[in-house]
Amino acid sequence: RDDGLADFAFAMQGLGTGALSLFGTPEQQEWLSRTRAGKAISAFALSEPRSGSDVANTEMTATRDGDSFVLTGEKTWISNGGIADLYVVFARTGEAPGAKGLSAFLVPGDAKGLGIAERLEVIAPHPLARLSFERVRLPATALIGRPGDGFRIAMSVLDVFRSTVGAAALGFARRALDESIKRVAERKLFGAPMAELQMVQGHIADMALDVDAAALLVYRAAWTK
Ligand SMILES: Cc1cc2nc3c(=O)[nH]c(=O)nc-3n(C[C@H](O)[C@H](O)[C@H](O)COP(=O)(O)OP(=O)(O)OC[C@H]3O[C@@H](n4cnc5c(N)ncnc54)[C@H](O)[C@@H]3O)c2cc1C
C-alpha cells in the first residue's frame, strides 16, 4: 500500500532464498541469517529469453565435470540481477527430457563467468537484468536438493510467492481506490464535487467491486496454500 519498492525488497529476499529455506543443506542455509539481517541480497534466476511460463523448456545447461558443475547459458528478467550476493539458478542437468531434467544451484554473485549482459529499464524503480553464464564452475555442494528436482523446487517456491505478489498488487489497488475517492471529493466540477456526478460514482463503485473481488481471490490463494 505504501511503497512498491519496500514490498519488492521484502518479496525478493524471500523469493531468492525460498529454495534454500525449503530444500537447502545446513551449509547452504547459512546464507539465511545474512539475508534476514539485510546483509546479503538474493535473487531467483529461472526465466530465459525463450523460457518464461514454459519452465520445462529451460535451455541453460549444467554439465558435470568431476566434482564440479559447469553452467552455461542466459537468464533474463532477473530481479536484483547484477546487485545480488547470491542467486538460485535453474539449469538443465539432463536426467530426463523436459521438466524432469532440471536442477537448482546456489551461485554466489561474484562467481567467475557470471556477468550482466544487459540492464533492463522499467518504469518502477526495480533492478532487473539479463545475465550471462559463461562456463561458471560450481562445486558439487552448490546443488540444491537432488539432480532432476529443479522444476519441483522452482514450483514449490513460486507457490508461496504467487499469493504474496497478489497481496502486494491488492495493496496498490486499495491505495489507488482511496486516492481516487479523496480526489473526487475535493475536485469541484460544474459547481459541485466530482463525486456528485453519477458516472463518477459508477466508476468508483466498479473499482471498489474489483478491489473486493481481488481481495477475496488473494485470501483464497493464501488459504489454499
Ligand atoms: C518486473 C518483472 C520481474 C521479474 N523478475 C523475475 C525474477 O526475479 N526471476 C525470474 O526468473 N523471472 C522474473 N521475471 C520473469 C517472469 O517470471 C516472466 O515474465 C514470466 O514467467 C512470463 O514469461 P514470459 O515473459 O517469457 O512470457 P511468456 O511465457 O512467453 O508468455 C507470453 C504470453 O503467453 C501467455 N501464456 C503463457 N502460458 C500460457 C498458457 N498455458 N495458455 C495461454 N496463454 C499462455 C502469457 O500470459 C503471455 O501473454 C520477471 C518479470 C517481470 C516483468
Q: Which residues line ligand 1 (CB under 6 A)?
A: 44-47, 52-54, 77-79, 122, 126, 128
Report yes or no: 40 and 80 within 8 Å, Cβ to Cβ: no
C-alpha 69: how far from chain center: 25
- The residue nearest atom 37 of ligand 1, judged by CA position, is 53
Q: Which of 77, 88, 119 to mutate to test the pocket of ligand 1 (most atoms within 8 A of CB)?
A: 77
Measured in angstroms, how far is the CA atom of residue 55 from the centroid of ligand 1?
A: 10
Handedness of CA 8, 10, 11, 14 (dihedral sign): positive
C-alpha 47: how far from chain center: 10
Q: What CATH number did the domain enclosing 90 receive? A: 2.40.110.10
pLDDT band for position 5 (cuts 50, 70, 90):
confident
Q: Which of 53, 123, 128 to mutate to test the pocket of ligand 1 (most atoms within 8 A of CB)?
A: 53
128 and 30 in one domain? yes
The answer to which of 130-144, 155-169, 195-209 has the lowest mean pLDDT is 155-169
Report yes or no: 177 and 211 within 8 Å, Cβ to Cβ: yes
The last residue of one of the domains, among 156, 183, 214, is: 156
38 and 139 in one domain? yes
Q: Give the Cβ contact number of residue 32 at 10 Å.
A: 16
Cell of 212: 473486493
Measured in angstroms, how far is the CA atom of residue 148 from the centroid of ligand 1?
A: 22
What whole-number distance in Å separates Cα of residue 59 and Cα of residue 176? 40
Cell of 92: 538443465
**Tally of structural domains, the chain:** 2
Report yes or no: 200 and 186 within 8 Å, Cβ to Cβ: no
Measured in angstroms, how far is the CA atom of residue 53 from the centroid of ligand 1?
A: 5
**What does the pLDDT look like over 77-116, one tens digit per residue?**
999 999 999 999 999 999 999 999 999 999 999 999 999 9
The last residue of one of the domains, among 139, 156, 173, is: 156
Average pLDDT over residues 211-219: 97
140 and 66 in one domain? yes
**What does the pLDDT look like over 142-172, one tens digit per residue?**
999 999 999 999 999 999 898 899 999 999 9
Predicted local distance difference test score (pLDDT) of residue 139: 98
Report yes or no: 84 and 113 within 8 Å, Cβ to Cβ: no
118 and 52 in one domain? yes
Q: Which domain holds residue 216?
A: 162-224
65 and 132 in one domain? yes
Predicted local distance difference test score (pLDDT) of residue 137: 98
185 SS3 class: helix
pLDDT band for position 187 (cuts 50, 70, 90):
very high
144 and 169 in one domain? no
107 and 182 in one domain? no
